[in-house]
Amino acid sequence: MSNARAFVDQRVGDVDAAAAVADIAAETWGLTRPVLLRHGMNVIFRSRDVVIRVASPSVPASCSIDLALALAEHGIPVVAPARSDVVVANGLSATVWEHVESSGDPIDWQTVGSIVHQVHGLSSSDLPASVPTPSPAVFPWWDFAQLLEDVDAVLDPGARDGLRAVLERWSDWQDWDESDAVVCHGDVHPGNVIMTNDGPVVIDWDLLCMAPAGWDHAPLMTWTERWGGEPGIYEAFAEGAGGSLRGDARAEALAELRLVAATLMRVKAGMSDPAARPEADRRLAHWRGDLDAPIWRAQ
């Protein structure tokens, strides 16, 4: 299904509102009182052996259930839905999922690469018609011109010049043929993989999209250097994914531009949230060319 937006591209900003919806869902489904686990684009709650996910999706939340079932049918390890119904309240949607227990072992990145390679081999006809498969060029955080305008007042000249140099170097980043696009997970990084006793499970399919395979390689290509990941993560992933894309111009562009997007979004967040400013400053140091620029933090 072609869609102008990803399944979830708007952050749930009000945790209290999300908690209220989770409470309604738990009561509806006869579950114990939900406990907050984490807050990202979605808000995640635990209720004994299940997890309640509260989101603000661009299409009915049942699409996420449809997708999980379809991926499982193709042998892709995903979290299973615990119910097929959705609770909608106060403009938010709640779905419930089986809790997946982490083994605590290091992530098997070669197997993750194999899983992603298998996803790339799917066709759009293998996915439910209800599921959005946009081009990632429509993601709001990849509208670099708008983001630069939004944060220009708080950028120092050195950081501004560094960011603009990257955007100019890769100005044709979205010029790919439709035939080059494959089904992509959209956000492959350690936070979206749970290592279990049976192997890795890939989670958070909100940014499913149609893009070149390099879109799914890009996050891990810089993970060690910029985010402090263990050495060799990308190399192991690439071995499972069919080969390294280091040196591939498009993949290199996507990898660096992903860092630009992460920086601009954090700077924008810091304009209204003082807690986000220290991390924004850490990221801007890299674009100034500081030789001692610190490693970034995910939160």
Q: Please, what is the average pLDDT of the chain?
A: 96
Mean pLDDT of 69-95: 98
Q: Is residue 3 situated within a structural domain?
A: no
**Whole-angstrom Cα distance, residue 140 to residue 200?**
29
Angle between helices 249-270 and 144-151 (to 10 degrees): 30
pLDDT band at 299 (very low <50, low <70, confident <90, very high): low
**Whole-angstrom Cα distance, residue 64 to residue 128?**
10
Instruction: Look at residues 71, 98, 125 and tell me which one is the last residue of a structural domain.
Output: 98
Residue-wise pLDDT for 26-63, tens only, equals 999 999 999 999 999 999 999 999 999 999 999 999 99
Instruction: Look at residues 37, 63, 98 and tell me which one is the last residue of a structural domain.
Output: 98
* Same domain? 63 vs 189: no
Q: Give me the number of domains the chain comprises.
A: 2
pLDDT band at 3 (very low <50, low <70, confident <90, very high): low
Mean pLDDT of 134-163: 96
* Same domain? 256 vs 279: yes
% of residues, the chain, pLDDT over 90 = 97
pLDDT band at 298 (very low <50, low <70, confident <90, very high): confident
For the cut 60, the answer to whether the pLDDT of residue 95 exceeds it is yes
Q: Is residue 6 situated within a structural domain?
A: no
% of residues, the chain, pLDDT over 70 = 99
For the cut 70, the answer to whether the pLDDT of residue 1 exceeds it is no
Q: Is residue 163 situated within a structural domain?
A: yes
* Same domain? 145 vs 226: yes
Burial of 39 (0-12, 13-18, 19+ CB in 10 A): middle
For the cut 80, the answer to whether the pLDDT of residue 24 exceeds it is yes
Mean pLDDT of 109-128: 96
* Same domain? 35 vs 167: no
Tokens of 296: 């970034």
Q: Is residue 262 situated within a structural domain?
A: yes
pLDDT confidence of residue 101: 95
- In the chain, the N- to C-terminal Cα span, in Å, equals 32
* Same domain? 132 vs 276: yes
For the cut 80, the answer to whether the pLDDT of residue 133 exceeds it is yes
* Same domain? 128 vs 223: yes
Q: What is the CATH number of the domain that holds 252?
A: 3.90.1200.10
Residue-wise pLDDT for 155-208, tens only, equals 999 999 999 999 999 999 999 998 999 999 999 999 999 999 999 999 999 999
Instruction: Look at residues 98, 120, 146 and tell me which one is the last residue of a structural domain.
Output: 98
For the cut 80, the answer to whether the pLDDT of residue 76 exceeds it is yes
Q: Look up the domain containing 48 and give its range.
A: 15-98
Q: Which of 9, 5, 65 is closest to 41 using CA atoms? A: 9
pLDDT confidence of residue 90: 94
pTM for this prediction: 0.95
For the cut 90, the answer to whether the pLDDT of residue 4 exceeds it is no
Q: What is the CATH number of the domain that holds 79?
A: 3.30.200.20
* Same domain? 164 vs 250: yes
* Same domain? 132 vs 37: no
For the cut 80, the answer to whether the pLDDT of residue 284 exceeds it is yes
